[in-house]
Amino acid sequence: MEFTMRWFGTGYDSVSLEYIRQTPGVTGVVTTLYGTQPGDVWEKDAILAMKREVEDAGLRVAGIESVNIHDAIKIGSAERDKYIDNYITTLERLGEADIHMVCYNFMAVFDWTRSDLAKKRADGSTVMSYDHAVISAIDPNNMSETLYSQSNGFALAGWEPERLAGLKELFAMYKDTDAEKLRENFRYFLERIMPVCDKYDINMAMHPDDPAWPVFGLPRIATDREKLQSILALSDNPHHGLTLCTGSLGTSPANDIPAMIHAFKGRIHFAHVRNLRRAGSHDFEESAHLSSDGCLDMYAIMKALYDSGFDGPIRPDHGRAIWGEVAMPGYGLYDRALGASYLAGLWEAITKAAAVKAI
Ligand SMILES: [Mn+2]
């Protein structure tokens, strides 16, 4: 288990590596090469420069979040092999740079979805929230503008304006891709990349869909225990695993996250741990990490990670905007640092209680 924070890179993130290093218990970052597009081959020099910058600050690159998948691969179009070749080259270069965990998702068209990036709470903090009625009323073609009007001027991970500029075409491309086809294309992708993951010992950590239900009529294949089980069944290779994202899975009250952690033992390669407060079956707002502030039992989640022997990178996930900080929505320093300290405290207590029991 390694405590990390997500870092978006110099020029993209309001938080410096120096500040991340000052967060108790945090020894690594997960980052990416911002400015690259899904489908690009990552330049060796750029990977090494990013790694050097992180290491010069006294931290470690614990993994990549994310190497995004080109739509041709998800759709299974004629160009997919070219883009899988590019993906493989990027993985080889990451492996050569001694980087061994890659987070990604297999979501159609959109990455995460929210209706409000700065919903005001009673204490004056702001959080990202999701109101299904609002989302259902939005023309998906305007979704990108809606989010960017609230982004404080920061780039939004997974919402590359370059890619989303052709949204109408993207929707048309996905027209014939149902959940079954998406899963089959996923299987094809895994079959091609697993040999390189074996060679360089790279753990692939697929991130579940966020939120855990269909949005804009697009297919969803990673929303609950059963679906994740069938995704894991696409390849028995242990390098094919999951990012356990409590905030994404936790949007659905039907998801018993501690039980899922046990069910996926050995196949969870990365953990995003945060809390949220549900209001009805398809509405929620993000919250502080504490169990008492949301509807997830963070102790039970950390205990399940401990008991199942999880040993990958973990990070606090989105935080609230507090104390006047202006940052990328969800990714300010202050509340994520509080989250990291809280999770580290739970981990210490769980570890020590287990040691006492063992005597
Ligand atoms: Mn996540």
Report how far ligand 1's centroid is from the alpha carbon of 210 (Å).
Answer: 8
- CA of 355 from ligand 1 middle (Å) equals 30
* Contact call for residues 56 and 18 (beta carbons, < 8 A): no
Clarify whether 318 is annotated catalytic: yes
- What pLDDT shows up at residue 145? 81
The pLDDT value recorded for residue 27 is 98
Q: How far is the CA of 274 from the centre of ligand 1 (A)?
A: 8
Domains and CATH numbers, the chain: 2-358 (3.20.20.150)
Active site includes 272? yes
Ligand 1 mean position to 232 CA, how many Å? Answer: 18
Q: Is the peptide bond before 341 cis (omega within 30 degrees of 0)?
A: no
Q: What is the pLDDT of residue 315?
A: 96
Q: What residues does 243 pair with on adjacent strands?
A: 270
Give the pLDDT confidence score for residue 143 in this predicted structure: 78
For residue 54, report the distance from its CA to the centre of ligand 1, in Å. Answer: 22
pLDDT in tens, the chain (359 residues): 999 999 999 888 899 999 999 999 999 999 999 889 899 999 999 999 999 999 999 999 999 999 999 999 999 999 999 999 999 999 999 999 999 999 999 988 877 888 889 999 999 999 999 998 888 888 877 778 888 888 888 777 777 777 777 778 888 888 888 889 999 999 999 999 999 999 999 999 999 998 988 888 888 888 899 999 999 999 999 999 999 999 999 999 999 999 999 999 999 999 999 999 999 889 999 999 999 999 999 999 999 999 999 999 999 999 999 999 999 899 999 999 999 999 999 999 999 999 987 77
Known catalytic residue at 317: yes
- The tokens for 220 are 């969803």
Query: Residues with beta carbon < 5 A to ion ligand 1?
Result: 245, 272
Separation between Cα atoms, residue 122 and residue 113, nearest integer Å: 23
> Which residue of the set 209, 224, 283, 317 is catalytic?
317
Q: Which of 245, 269, 282, 289 is an active site residue?
A: 245
Q: Are strands 116-120 and 126-131 parallel, antiparallel or unpaired?
A: antiparallel
Q: Give 263: exposed, middle or buried? Use CB within 10 Å, 0-12, 13-18, 19+.
A: middle
Contacts of 337 (CB under 8 A, 6+ apart): 23, 316
**Residue 197 bears catalytic tag:** no
